[in-house]
């Protein structure tokens, strides 16, 4: 069937999100102060987890969460790219409203020195919770900018957007960060280095042939100029390749760099252990933990305990390691924006429920605000809708009649859910 084929779409070129929301009651707090644990996976397709129909990738922990909670079958990311989708997730707003939808072709931040990021004026659900006395942490990938005007102002950093604690990758996990995985800049290298080098080689060969035939006597400085130009291009390429990893692929704890360049050795285990430590440290206080996996974005990686163990190569190994930690990219086709979504709250939300109504990753912001009794900001549009009426079966209809999808800053598609 068409639905079955959609579930099996390849996600090599998709940025997808897996959102697992747990709400549990801290022993020393009343039910009006639930704790929040949000798990986000990067580039995980809706057809990858076993609970969404995959028969060969082993995701027993994610499947167990689905059995004990609610599975959203029409959960949609606000964008098929990392940066704008994460901005929408954090703020409950379309990325075009916050200026996080690029007008360029790239659409995401690639360098630590990139200008821009999530504006300080934006309100994240972490800010709302922090104002209510919650301990807040983001562990893993951020990808919403670092600084504004000065390398040390950290105006776009997670700690400036409501998170008391940050440990992870401030940018993104690119294949350039792992030796042997290739480069996202291959096309640029061909245009800016390989093509000029080929033209220089043709020019040199032409001058040599013309000189040999006696048709043209080029001055020695012409050969020297072309040689120096080729040397300069090659030097710039080698310099870029040498310095890119340490300058852009590093781990931070709060505002300090802790590993540069970062090592992939047991990286998932290290971040997961830190997340577990945060939960233990804040067991007696209300908390928010966002565990933002580097999986499944390239570069693909896994520890020796998972390498070569799946039936799907390095992608499957990474998926199964990501599942262990739980205990189409770039287009608006269904496989690029439709993502796995699981919500679990024992004793409050019915276990084993499946909801086919359209929901969005923007819905987390108003849902969190509602649960902690905080009013939504009145000075801006919030595009997300409170999920709790759907999750508690108080209504059988999504609050979204329309969901808009953009190709960067340009409207590309609309999902319409007619009232009748």
Q: Does residue 331 surpass a pLDDT of 70?
A: no
Phi, psi of 313 (to 5 degrees): 65, -150
* Spatial CA neighbour of 328 closest among 80, 86, 95, 87: 80
- Cα torsion angle, 126, 141, 383, 389, sign: negative
* Spatial CA neighbour of 343 closest among 389, 297, 294: 389
Distance (Å, whole) CA 375 – CA 381: 13
Phi, psi of 278 (to 5 degrees): -60, -40
Per-residue pLDDT of 195-230, as tens digits, reads 988 898 898 888 888 878 777 777 888 888 888 999
Per-residue pLDDT of 255-305, as tens digits, reads 999 999 988 888 888 998 999 999 999 998 999 999 988 765 555 556 777
Q: Does residue 129 surpass a pLDDT of 90?
A: yes
Give CA separation, 126 vs 92, 109, 120, 382, in Å: 12, 22, 13, 15
In the chain, the percentage of residues whose pLDDT exceeds 70 is 85
Q: What is the pLDDT of residue 240?
A: 84
Sequence length of the chain is 420
Q: Is 405 part of the annotated catalytic residue set? A: no
Q: What is the pLDDT of residue 31?
A: 52
More confident call, 6 vs 90: 90
Q: What is the pLDDT of residue 9?
A: 34
Catalytic residue among 51, 75, 143, 277: 143
Q: What is the mean pLDDT of the chain?
A: 82
Per-residue pLDDT of 63-103, as tens digits, reads 998 999 999 999 998 888 888 889 999 999 999 999 888 77
- Cα torsion angle, 23, 25, 30, 36, sign: negative
284-302: burial string, b at 16+ Cβ within 10 Å, e else: eebbbbbbbbbbbbbbbbb
* 185 torsion bin: left (phi>0), alpha (psi -120 to 50), beta (else): alpha
Catalytic residue among 75, 82, 167, 177: 82
Quickly state the pLDDT bin for 242 (edges 50, 70, 90).
confident
More confident call, 168 vs 42: 168
Residue 377: CA count within 13 A, CB half-sphere: 17
Distance (Å, whole) CA 181 – CA 248: 16
Task: Give the chain's domains with CATH numbers.
Answer: 2-174+252-416 (3.40.720.10), 186-244 (1.10.287.550)
Q: Is 24 part of the annotated catalytic residue set? A: no
| DSSP string over 105-129 | SS-S--STT-S--S-TT---HHHHH
Distance (Å, whole) CA 405 – CA 412: 6
């Amino acid at each position: 069937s068409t639905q079955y084929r959609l579930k099996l779409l390849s996600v090599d070129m998709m940025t997808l999100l897996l959102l697992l929301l747990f709400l549990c009651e801290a022993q020393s707090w009343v039910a009006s102060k639930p704790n929040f644990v949000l798990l986000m996976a990067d580039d995980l397709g809706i057809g990858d987890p076993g609970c969404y129909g995959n028969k060969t990738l082993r995701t027993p922990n994610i499947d167990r969460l689905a059995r004990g909670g609610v599975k959203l079958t029409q959960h949609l990311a606000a964008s098929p790219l990392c940066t704008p989708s994460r901005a929408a997730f954090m703020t409950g707003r379309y990325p075009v409203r916050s200026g996080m939808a690029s007008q360029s072709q790239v659409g995401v931040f690639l360098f630590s020195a990139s200008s821009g990021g999530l504006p300080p004026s934006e309100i994240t659900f972490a800010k709302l919770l922090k104002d209510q006395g919650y301990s807040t942490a983001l562990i893993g990938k951020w990808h919403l900018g670092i600084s504004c005007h000065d390398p040390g102002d950290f105006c776009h950093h997670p700690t400036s957007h409501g998170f008391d604690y940050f440990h992870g990758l401030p940018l993104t996990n690119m294949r350039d960060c792992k030796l042997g995985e290739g480069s996202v800049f291959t096309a640029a290298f061909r245009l800016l280095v390989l093509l000029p080098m080929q033209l220089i080689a043709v020019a040199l060969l032409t001058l040599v042939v013309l000189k040999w035939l006696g048709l043209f006597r080029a001055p020695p400085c012409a050969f020297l100029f072309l040689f120096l130009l080729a040397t300069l291009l090659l030097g710039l390429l080698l310099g870029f390749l040498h310095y890119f990893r340490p300058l852009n692929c590093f781990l931070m704890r709060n505002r300090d760099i802790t590993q540069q360049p970062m090592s992939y050795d047991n990286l998932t285990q290290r971040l997961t252990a830190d997340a577990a430590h945060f939960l233990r440290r804040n067991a007696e206080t209300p908390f928010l933990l966002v565990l933002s996996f580097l999986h499944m974005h390239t570069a693909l990686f896994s520890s020796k305990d998972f390498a070569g163990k799946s039936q799907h190569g390095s992608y499957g190994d990474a998926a199964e390691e990501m599942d262990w930690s739980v205990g189409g990219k770039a287009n608006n086709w269904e496989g690029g924006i439709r993502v796995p979504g699981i919500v679990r709250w024992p004793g409050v939300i019915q276990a084993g429920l499946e909801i086919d109504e359209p929901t969005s990753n923007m819905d987390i912001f108003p849902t969190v605000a509602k649960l902690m009794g905080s009013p939504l900001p009145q000075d801006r549009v919030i595009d997300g809708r409170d999920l709790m009426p759907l999750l508690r079966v108080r209504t059988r209809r999504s609050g979204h009649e329309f969901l808009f999808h953009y190709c960067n800053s340009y409207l590309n598609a609309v999902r319409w859910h007619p009232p009748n």
